[in-house]
Amino acid sequence: MTATNPDLAAALKAMPLVDHHVHSVLKDPMAEAQLLDALTEADHPIDRQTTFDTQVGFAIRRYCAPVLGLAPFATPDEYLARREELGFEEVTRLLLSDAGIGTYLIDGGYNPQALLPVERMMELAGGARAEAIIRLETTAEAVMAASSSGADFVARLYPALEAAAVGAVGWKTVAAYRTGLDLDPAKPTDAELAEAVEAWFAAGSPGAPARLVDRAIVRHLIWWALERGDVVQVHAGFGNTNLHLPTANPAVMQRFVAATQHTGGRIVFLHCYPFLREAGYLAQVYPHVYLDAGLTINYLGANADAAVRETLDLAPFTKVLFSSDAWGAPELVQLGARLWRDATARVLSDYMSVHRWPLAEAIRVAELVAWRNAEALYRRAFPSGR
């Protein structure tokens, strides 16, 4: 393997990051079981040994342990004891500070009651800034909970979405979990939407609507956001067992992507594993498509180079973004940044050595992914640039 270019590695280490898709961390006190659960997408309890005998477990022992004052590859028992000794705030502060992330775009839609308030997380991150990403399905569910009929839901929906948009820089859809990404490309008609809304209302009970799994309503929400000219983040690829992996492939959303390319909105496929190449293809051939490798990099650990390399296969370099997709564990924020920096340094060093890329060009590409593309895409968060 090509040796990492030291000048490139130094530039990446000093480079600020915009984490364009992330969540908050679990509240204090964080029990061991909660930490272990946050380090897997499995839906069954995972024991200590099983958690650490994974790529992400080894990465924590290699990279997070020294941040907490331990030797690299401290044992799991030593690591967890050190966490307990330092305490929640100090561990969180050390790990978030080490990440070097200046701006977090935070999706607060998953289990928010278990998470630290964003303002407190930013304090522990050394005064980083935070902007909001709003989940479309979660917003619709909250509106339905307050509605007295399907027609009342439709009347309430648009004011609620517009109000949410005021404090947000983009939207997130979890269609991969709710319907799959193989969506009908057509924008739902008013009659189709009304029928779907009435059926959804009838399936729930006052104050407790059924989970939004209707394909017409989900399609409508995504169309609405894209026609506003907004950014819509789309979970793609692996996640927990609530999704069916084959229908979380970005490729099955191609017809929908093609139909929406003239809306003025932009689509960002998140994480994408094992479908990074499919997402890269869509980013190349459609003007409004972007991607990241997200939580893929954390979970691949020592194999993160493969994910970074695949994001740079087909997609224009101006359409690849950085994210950690950390949820719950501050370790995932730190690892997201550290593993991305190191993997990117190795991949781009290989391009420099084998393909004679100039150092300045390698640094420029790294900067595009680290922060420049996010600042250009989420213009609401960065109205005047850096």
CB 157 within 8 Å of CB 143: yes
DSSP bridge partners of 19? 104
**Superfamily name and number for 6-31+99-377:** Metal-dependent hydrolases (3.20.20.140)
What does each of the 386 residues of the chain score in pLDDT, given as a tens digit? 689 999 999 999 999 999 999 999 999 988 888 999 888 888 887 888 889 999 999 999 999 999 999 999 999 999 999 999 999 999 999 999 999 999 999 999 888 888 999 999 999 999 999 999 999 999 999 999 999 999 999 999 999 999 999 989 999 999 999 999 999 999 999 999 999 999 999 998 777 778 999 999 999 999 999 999 999 999 999 999 999 999 999 999 999 999 999 999 999 999 999 999 999 999 999 999 999 999 999 999 999 999 999 999 999 999 999 999 999 999 999 999 999 999 999 999 999 999 999 999 999 999 999 999 999 999 888 876 55
Domain boundaries, the chain: 6-31+99-377
pTM listed for this prediction: 0.96
